[in-house]
Amino acid sequence: MTITTNFFNRIFLTTFFLACFIVSTHNTNAQATEKSKVNLSEQEWKAVQGIFQSPQNSDMNVQFTVKDNMLVAKLLWNNNELHLLPESPLDFQSNQEPVHIAFIKDSSGTINQVNVAGNGVWKRNDNYKPLSKKQIELMPEELKQFEGLYQLRDDGSRFIQLFVKGKELILKQEWDGEQRSFVAESNMDFFIKDFPLFTLNFSKDKDGNIGQVTAFKRDVWIKTKKPSLTAAQLKSYEGKYQSNDDPDNLIQLFVSDGHLVIKQLWDKKEIILEPKTDTYFYNEADSYPLVIMKNKDGKVNQLTVLGTNIFNKLK
């Protein structure tokens, strides 16, 4: 059982252009051989050209230009491109990727918006300026306040760990161990040098302590508290669990010497888990995360193992 989830595509880069428009050069070249059955006039092609801005992140802008009877969407934050073929003067489709966009006219008949496959309406940006960020230097002791474990607000099974290394802030994905290095733009804001769109913006709680971080200006991660598990709470997690995807795969949780242990019943392998919160456990050597999920009555009913694999508790 392994993790295949890509960090950018599945967690932070959930915005449509990042999830669907990042394609390789050979993909776009292959697509260039495709021919559209719809012929647009010079005026119709001109109407859909320009720069459009994401409604969720002002740093995300895409530029549409025409080349070889195709509409080229260039992502201005990383220069990747996607080629689109016209279905009508306002609708375009990629034959290589599952991407459909629809331009929208205003009351005067001018195209000022584009609907990106139902994932938001991007507005024409005539005042575009290239993204530029300047690094400032924070000392390691200044960075220490940001260290800790953070849980994704909209997905209780996702965690990241932030720690200081030298004069940089390191983000570690708990589900697969991948790491990213951030530098400071201000006392509370960080970015990746070679990918400035990837930002971290921290905020404090009512007591003046770091309480959360927002990634990509949209994904909120809440700083967790240290575990305070009782023996009875730990005991309540025991039981057998069945894979949601493969009913033949069973695991068992049990307590041994005060530790929660997971046993894979298909190969009898046992892994000792350490609590990072009251419901999140981790084995460092195997990069093995496990999240306890509860129903509305507060009873344990599911596990999330290795970030994506769901197991249901058997009665």
CATH of the domain at 155: 2.40.128
Q: Is residue 43 part of a domain?
A: yes
Q: In terms of residue numbers, what domain contains 294?
A: 231-313
The average pLDDT across 261-281 equals 96
> Residue 175 has which token pair?
């589900």
Q: Is residue 204 part of a domain?
A: yes
Same domain, 114 and 210: no
Cα of 75 vs its chain's centroid, Å: 18
Does residue 20 carry a pLDDT above 60? no
Count the neighbouring beta carbons within 10 Å of the beta carbon of residue 219.
18
Per-residue model confidence (pLDDT) at position 59: 85
- Out of 170, 202, 223, a domain closes at 223
Q: Is residue 205 part of a domain?
A: yes
Same domain, 102 and 34: yes
188 near 199, Cβ under 8 Å?
Answer: no
Instruction: Out of 65-79, 108-122, 223-237, give the one with best mean pLDDT.
Output: 223-237
127: phi > 0 → left, psi -120 to 50 → alpha, else beta; which?
alpha
- Which residue in 266, 262, 255, 256 sits closest to 291, CA to CA? 262
What's the domain count of the chain? 3
**Based on the number of CB atoms within 10 Å of its own CB, is 26 exposed (0-12), middle (13-18) or buried (19 or more)?**
exposed
pLDDT tens-digit readout, 186-214: 999 999 998 888 899 999 999 999 999 99
Percent of the chain with pLDDT over 90: 67
289 near 159, Cβ under 8 Å?
Answer: yes
Q: Predicted confidence band at 244 (pLDDT cuts at 50, 70, 90)?
A: very high
Which CATH number is 294's domain given? 2.40.128.50
> Worst-scoring range by mean pLDDT, 22-31, 52-61, 240-249, 275-284?
22-31
Q: Is residue 130 part of a domain?
A: no
Sequence-distant (6+) residues with CB within 8 A of 282 are 174, 273, 274, 276, 288, 289, 290
- Out of 69, 91, 124, a domain closes at 124
Per-residue model confidence (pLDDT) at position 287: 86
Does residue 32 carry a pLDDT above 50? no
> Residue 157 has which token pair?
């099974």
Same domain, 33 and 97: yes
Same domain, 207 and 288: no
Same domain, 163 and 107: no
Per-residue model confidence (pLDDT) at position 267: 95
Same domain, 145 and 206: yes
304 near 291, Cβ under 8 Å?
Answer: yes
- Which residue in 237, 242, 212 sits closest to 312, CA to CA? 242
Euclidean distance between the first and final Cα of the chain, in Å?
A: 24
Same domain, 84 and 188: no
The residue among 6 and 106 whose pLDDT is bigger is 106
Q: Is residue 2 part of a domain?
A: no
Same domain, 216 and 268: no
Which CATH number is 39's domain given? 2.40.128.210
- Out of 85, 100, 124, a domain closes at 124
Same domain, 239 and 219: no
pLDDT tens-digit readout, 210-238: 999 999 888 999 999 999 999 999 999 99
Q: Is residue 201 part of a domain?
A: yes
Q: Is residue 210 part of a domain?
A: yes
- Pairing between strand 288-294 and 300-305? antiparallel
Per-residue model confidence (pLDDT) at position 30: 43
Same domain, 94 and 162: no
Count the neighbouring beta carbons within 10 Å of the beta carbon of residue 258.
8
Does residue 295 carry a pLDDT above 70? yes
Same domain, 304 and 270: yes
Does residue 301 carry a pLDDT above 90? yes
Same domain, 165 and 255: no
Q: Is residue 246 part of a domain?
A: yes
Count the neighbouring beta carbons within 10 Å of the beta carbon of residue 52.
26
